[in-house]
Structure 1
């Protein structure tokens, strides 16, 4: 288990010799030799004998051979910081139980019997086994040692340092998962974060999809990792074929799925397995911050906790997918539905607010030719269409200033024209110049007294790039734009979630509006949605061309003078760092509570749009954390707007933070 709380789990489907425990033990040992880097290795139900032994389960010869096979596995794992779970039949007094043995480097640490035995259709388990009800002996003799036995066992990890403190293993067997309230629910409520299911499920048409839904759904309901290892096609096929389906899920998401019978590929006859790193630290954070675990359904008996030994690992690889753009929908059959859902949530939020206004009301939107105002414009148009109102009620206002380029100005005007909204242009440069003069402010050291606009424009072009820093110059223009908009009526906001996180807005300027449909849309998703609209909603013609041009434009507030060639010099990403890094940090720090060191570790495995030097990633993370803390005062005062994804920074909803909190603890890593 590594220092960031990542636990490597393997689920294996075994090449089975039905009725030959010695051969099955050798197969288990062979798999263990190839999964040395794994912390937990799970094998199928009754894997040491084969699930399909039927009346042979009564035979003492088979039961004794199963114990000998268990001894072989224990000896192979001796001294290793690893947990192994194998299935075997076990006689306890006059009864026979279908069991899972939990093994670490010291031997068998506990045995969990199956509680719910299928006895319908093709299943006949009650012919051989007794269902465990909690009345069984608390300990049984296994390989000459008294060993904990029962349905009340949990296995907390020890020996892995601080990273392992929240790693607790619970075990249920096959059918236990298929009942209304599986035992794993009680185990999770009692603290289990990794749920294991050794199983033997036969394959029938459509069953694999339902099985996957069960595993994924239970991982989500329990806010846990769930590993499932299924018996394979080398079980007896007298009446059934077993699929060999292995699954690993975490908190409602499928992490890995193995081969299986019926997947359209040649049937695998040997042993195979899947491996993934499950994030125990993430699960603990989510349980503390989002889920309710103190109100279980029905009585829950106390659990006995039997420690299992792992070790703190120094491994530097990762068997886990890390999304470089966690807010952006992935390509595939769900893409269209997901994008439509995002737009519909934004539209529904704005529609309710518009409905509260008189029907002839006009709505005002600052259209800059940038990404955020473009998305807000698209949402506003969709909303008016939904309400059956004239698009001309939406009055787009573009307000070029000293930093506006011809490209963004043209795109803004063209887009409003294409979409059929009212359009107007007001040059704010004269008002800004007058404000500088009234304030006695010299932009970039230039004495503006007595100047006209064109003279100041010309003088600004000669300001060296390294001296183009003047916050008053920027803020005056930003506030003038908001002043002009709000003087006209109801203003639709445009600022996005990434800007809110970084405080990249002028207080009481673009920071403010009457309703902001973009407030929980991060910048990477804004760009994606604009490009998506260009491709799918305007598949050809000038609207698509304009949207594509906007999507490809350098992200900039355009408040500082352009180059002499009229090109944007004020790049937001040059100043702050790439937005795809900031959105990556936003997701992992705010949504998942990861410490900075873990965020940097995961960033190494994310496939960003281009490779970033480690120094840039670290520098950008420091910028993110510094600004996130310093700019909370802006987030304490933001307009209404809908939560769309899993992260919102609204002070009325998801995020409550003191405006004067100190980032020192989060930045300590950067001082080392």
Structure 2
């Protein structure tokens, strides 16, 4: 029996399906944890997370277990023990599991009991719930290893405490969303108070399709004190020191990183998600339409900060309605960012389609311009292999103020879950701040005029967004009530102070635009109810709460 333990918390990235790469990375991090007794990794670190329907492919499960066996064998070298997330398959059932290996053998295994099946998660589709876990004996210490969702409800931790667990090590795959840090820490304090046990909360970092992980791992002692805080948005290794006392195990005070506040946290979520999406899918760079407006300017800034100016290609595509101001602002934005900037007029294409479709309505003529821009960008994308970055925001996507197969087209969207008011807040913040690890310029990333001028699509003379929509501060409050809080028209009108008729009209637009959103590109989740993974409404839907 030991009275001291050194547990290394490896807050690292992953790549779904890259079994060999993930395993090799774990061994590299283990080699850095000199002096540690145990190196702990996040949930499903071997496979990547969320693994989704890959688990339903028998060959994937077979190879996962092979690689897990090799990781177990690697611990025969006398180095630190490994506690890592993988898949365990037995009797035709697949389990989300954590494996503790030391000395070339499996010391213990925990199967996840509580399977999340809401929002971004659908684990009941692919995994079987494991039995209530028992503590794992390690160097004479009983370790409780509840896996992620296992601590969001009371029973698993309570059971582990009753079974004699002396401390709780919790591996997580917890995606970022606004205010999640406070929620996690309140949750952990609740479990600590209930069990009387200290708890280490380990999370991963990095982007995976529409979710992004922020890390932000921490340790809370049994008295509720926050003794270790790892950074957010970056890989890190913390070797935590634990001592047995007369009142149980304690973690000694360690590093105390400062987490990014709002809106920096959102901005870094965007850059990390975009960086990993582009790099992990092998795109050489990003192309986007730079209109001189705030959405494309912010998207370009995120792209440059994520992968560097030399890999970002901005294209201004003026029509006869494009103002000189927009041309100047787009050019100056590209200059501030230091990225490539080309101008390709769509006027010849518009004329050609006017000849082909002489009776097109005014709305059709507006959409022709947006779709010609998409055709232009996709042709350039095909020529160089750059991924087309979509630049629309959540306010527009909510009410259908976007052109299907036009400005909605692309491979990824960093603004998909960002309302217009958030776009303004992020733009002001980035112009005054340089995020950590950003590859873009230290100074402003867009002219101030881009932030100050009224938003416009410039698809007809003197067009402004507010010709078709209420002012964005009002619209976004209504959308927050209808989308994030799922309120009825009556409730939303009461909580926002908006005219019930206006709220009912917004709800109607929201429901009618569902078919568009189903065809939108993926984009990073930022809030509690993103379109696609969280909010899954039927396209054909006659129900509404307003008139």
Which structure has the larger Rg?
Answer: 1
